Structure 1
């Protein structure tokens, strides 16, 4: 597992812990703004993790595809992901 994937995995595990905490906060009837702030924090971790995965994909999968004259397909994949992110 490369460095980007290791970092992404750690961020996802942290986000999972935060989400479990958020669920508990809601069950306990905690203050809405506190819950919302935790949701924003978890969302940030998910975005950072996704960025690391995309970086890894560009540095390895896309690079290899271009070296093998098959890069256009990988570019299309990236565009589809970016379209989802920017909606």
Structure 2
């Protein structure tokens, strides 16, 4: 995987939100406010995941396709199928 600055920045923001959620729980803040922050963190993680998968398609999968190595292409397709199946289970 090549460096993915956009995905990394999103993950760092999500990390900050999760740390804020932990502090909210420790401070016994209102449950609905905590839940909203958790949902915001989840949304950021989903966004980071989409960014990283797009980057994977643009780099790793594209490189495999141009390599004319059918085994490598099949591996990349299987990996993407597994991720898509997992995403569909969690929706």
Q: Which residue of 2 aligns with 1:76?
A: 78
- Runs (5+) with no aligned partner, structure 2: none
1:7-86 maps to which residues of 2 (within 5 A)?
7-68=6-67, 69=69, 70-86=72-88
Runs of 4+ deviating beyond 6 Å: none
Distance in 1, Cα, partners of 2:85 & 2:58: 20
Q: TM-score, normalised by structure 2?
A: 0.88
- Any gaps of 5 or more consecutive residues in structure 1? none
Q: Counterpart of 1:30 in 2: which secondary structure?
A: coil
TM-score by length of 1: 0.92
Q: CA RMSD in A?
A: 1.1
Count the aligned residue pairs. 85
Q: Secondary structure at the match of 1:72?
A: helix
CA distance in 1, matches of 2:62, 2:11: 25
Q: Deviations over 1:22-72 (max 9, x none)?
A: 000001111111000000000010000010100010011001111122311
In structure 1, C-alpha distance between the alignment counterparts of 2:85 and 2:29, rounded to whole Å: 35
